[in-house]
Amino acid sequence: MVLNFLDKFRSNKAKETSDQNRDQISEPITTRKAPAQAAHLSTSGSSEVSPTSTQKPLVSAAQFSALGLKDLITRAVQAEGYESPTPIQEKTIPSILAGRDILGCAQTGTGKTAAFALPMLQRLSDAEVNGHPLRALILAPTRELALQIKESFVVYGRNLPLRTAVVFGGVGLEPQIRSLKAGVDILVATPGRLLDLMGRRAVDFRNIQILVLDEADRMLDMGFIHDINRILKMMPSDRQNLLFSATMPSEVQGLINSILNDPIRVEVTPVSSTTELVDQRLYYVSRADKKNLILDIIDDDKVQKGLVFTRTKHNANKLENWLNDHGIKAAAIHGNKSQNARQRALEDFRNGKVRILVASDLAARGIDIDSITHVINFEMPNEAETYVHRIGRTGRAMATGVAMSFCDHEEMGLLHQIERVTKIKIPLVTEHAYLKDAPTGNEKAVPMSRGRRPSGGGGRGGNSSRGGRGPSRR
- In the complex, minimum distance from the CB of residue 178 to ligand AMP, in angstroms, rounded to a whole number: 29
Question: Which residues are near ligand AMP by CB under 6 A?
Answer: 29, 32, 82, 85-86, 89, 108-114, 368, 397
- In the complex, minimum distance from the CB of residue 272 to ligand AMP, in angstroms, rounded to a whole number: 19
Residue 334: C-alpha distances to residues 211, 224, 312, 320 (Å):
28, 18, 9, 12
User: Closer to ligand AMP at the Cβ: 109 or 119?
Assistant: 109
CB 166 within 8 A of CB 150: yes
User: Closer to ligand AMP at the Cβ: 152 or 360?
Assistant: 152
Nearest CA to 170 among 354, 345, 357, 343?
343
Measured distance between the N- and C-terminal CA atoms of the chain, rounded to whole angstroms:
18
- In the complex, minimum distance from the CB of residue 83 to ligand AMP, in angstroms, rounded to a whole number: 6
Strand runs (DSSP E) across 190-298, as ranges?
210-213, 240-245, 264-267, 278-284
- In the complex, minimum distance from the CB of residue 366 to ligand AMP, in angstroms, rounded to a whole number: 7
User: Closer to ligand AMP at the Cβ: 114 or 137?
Assistant: 114
SS3 call for 225: helix
User: Closer to ligand AMP at the Cβ: 55 or 207?
Assistant: 55
User: Closer to ligand AMP at the Cβ: 138 or 203?
Assistant: 138
- In the complex, minimum distance from the CB of residue 55 to ligand AMP, in angstroms, rounded to a whole number: 17
CB 384 within 8 A of CB 241: no
Q: H or E stretch including 295?
A: helix 290-299
Residue 230: C-alpha distances to residues 102, 192, 194, 199, 227 (Å):
21, 11, 10, 11, 5
- In the complex, minimum distance from the CB of residue 397 to ligand AMP, in angstroms, rounded to a whole number: 5
User: Closer to ligand AMP at the Cβ: 114 or 364?
Assistant: 114
Query: Other CB atoms closer than 10 Å to residue 473's CB: what's the count?
Result: 17
User: Closer to ligand AMP at the Cβ: 29 or 404?
Assistant: 29
Bridge partners (DSSP) listed for residue 373: none
- In the complex, minimum distance from the CB of residue 332 to ligand AMP, in angstroms, rounded to a whole number: 23
Separation of alpha carbons 38 and 43, rounded Å = 9
